[in-house]
Amino acid sequence: MYQPHTNRRIPRAIGFNATPMIDVIFLLTVFFMLVSTFARKENAPMKLPDPLASRAKDIDLPDRIVINCRLGDPSASVAGATLYSIGPNAPESLDVIDRRLAGMKQQSPDIKVIIRADRRLDYRDVRDVMRVVAANDIKMLNVAAHTGEGE
């Protein structure tokens, strides 16, 4: 039997094209494989120190005082005099620094002092600051030294 040709389409079920989703999943898989490889390379196996047994401790900022010892301006009235200051403050005499340390020691009994000194100073100038710190019964004293060649 002959059936005439018609332009009628046979309806098909609505479908879902999964090709773009498969591409995205493949790209994400490759991305995470690469990232995990790089992360593994950064974490080389090594024996790390035990933080509880470490001698390096963070300094608690509120309990720390930095005393700077600088060489005075040669053109000043007192040529070559040593300038002492607590932190970035203006230079003060050792007597003023002594009184300020006494007040800080009363507020924070476990205070720590770091002395920074210009390498051109005589040791006696730094020793004078050390004596002021010791006179205020401050037990923790560090002296900072720059080991590089620059100023």
* pLDDT tens sequence across 3-35: 666 666 766 777 778 888 999 999 999 999 888
Tokens describing residue 19: 């090709």
pLDDT digits 0-9 by tens, 31-76: 998 888 766 655 555 555 555 655 555 444 457 888 888 877 655 5
Would strands 82-86 and 64-71 be described as parallel, antiparallel, or unpaired?
antiparallel
Interval 68-105: pLDDT, tens: 888 776 555 444 577 888 887 788 888 999 999 988 88
SS (H, E, C) the chain: CCCCCCCCCCCCCCCCCCHHHHHHHHHHHHHHHHHHHHHHHHCCCCCCCCHHHCCCCCCCHHHEEEEEEEECCCCCCCCCCEEEEECCCCCECHHHHHHHHHHHHHHCCCCEEEEEECCCCCHHHHHHHHHHHHHCCCCEEEEECCCCCCC
* pLDDT > 70 fraction of the chain, expressed in percent and rounded: 66
- Asked if 105 and 134 count as a contact pair (C-beta separation under 8 A), the reply is no
**Radius of gyration of the chain from Cα atoms?**
36
Q: Parse the chain into domains and list their residue ranges.
A: 61-144
pTM across the whole model: 0.52
Give the burial string for 13-39 (b: 16+ CB within 10 Å, else e). Answer: eeeeeeeeeeeeeeeeeeeeeeeeeee
Question: What is residue 125's predicted lDDT score, i.e. its pLDDT?
Answer: 85
Give the architecture-level CATH label for domain 61-144. 2-Layer Sandwich (3.30)
Residue 1: per-residue pLDDT: 57
